[in-house]
Amino acid sequence: MPLTLTSLGSAAALPLKESYFTAHVLNVRGRLFLLDCGEGTQLRLRQLGISLGAIDNIFLTHLHGDHVFGIFGLLSSMHLLERTAPMHIFAPGGFEKMLEFYFSRFVNGPSSFPVTHHLVSGDRPALLLDGPTARVYSLPLHHSVPAYGYLFREKKVRRSEARSVAYCTDTAPVADLPAWINGVDILFHEATFLEQDKCSAEKYLHSTAADAARCALESGAHRLVIGHFSSRYKETPAFLAEARAIFPATEAGYEGSVFSVPRSAIT
């Protein structure tokens, strides 16, 4: 009965020699959800042995290139593999134009599978998907374009505690976010900058490692995973040190890292 979050990449805006763009796969009891789809995502999936055919739902936080440039290649490969299962993509407004461009330029004839864009909008959390293993909620974030985080709450199985994961990138600190994700088992929160560059974080509407840690602390999260590190930093241990000074249960979402949430029984 797995619940795991696998990091495909940890870079922001520009890739580094050993860092891919931010993207993650969430496995909730065998159901796979792709969270963001930057350039190179399908390559990372293959490198980690994750089947393209096992993904039925993609959640895009926003439409900046480092989070969506991989979607054309991913959909194209699925088409070449003669996929037939529907694909559901949850994304803010404007993504429908990207899909129109993809189908008009890169699909020779009818697509082998239907692709549906589900609009993510609004200024309050909202239920997006009531699936077999989890309910998924949108979380309005604060960035230079419309951006949303996602909260995954597992559906209970027998006498066990339901587990939860929140995924929040790219965003400046949001005052209401800790209350929206209260008690979450894993919080993935962007940490684009260090506190020494707080001015840059505020200018570009991103968060520092300390901001991410404060969100985790205020929300009562069990664990914090940070990522989306700016390419201006050549080494990243300082991000962990800064976050752990506030929230000790912090880990870095480096490429290939897998974070698990064990199942606990109700007593």
Report, as residue numbers or ranges, the catalytic residues: 66
Q: CA 163, CA 249: separation in Å to the nearest integer?
A: 17
Q: Which amino acid is at 119?
A: L
Both structure tokens of 66: 């480092």
Contacts of 122 (CB under 8 A, 6+ apart): 138, 140
Q: 23: part of which helix (H) or strand (E)?
A: strand 23-28
Q: CA 27, CA 260: separation in Å to the nearest integer?
A: 9
Q: CA 122, CA 229: separation in Å to the nearest integer?
A: 28
SS3 call for 129: strand
Residue where the block lists tokens 């490198």: 47
- Angstrom CA distances, 39 to 122, 150, 165, stand at 27, 21, 24
Q: Which amino acid is at 166?
A: A
Instruction: Give the helix ranges, DSSP H, for the chain.
Output: 41-47, 65-68, 71-80, 95-106, 177-180, 198-204, 209-219, 237-244
Residue 170 preceded by cis peptide, ω within 30: yes
Q: CA 180, CA 174: separation in Å to the nearest integer?
A: 10
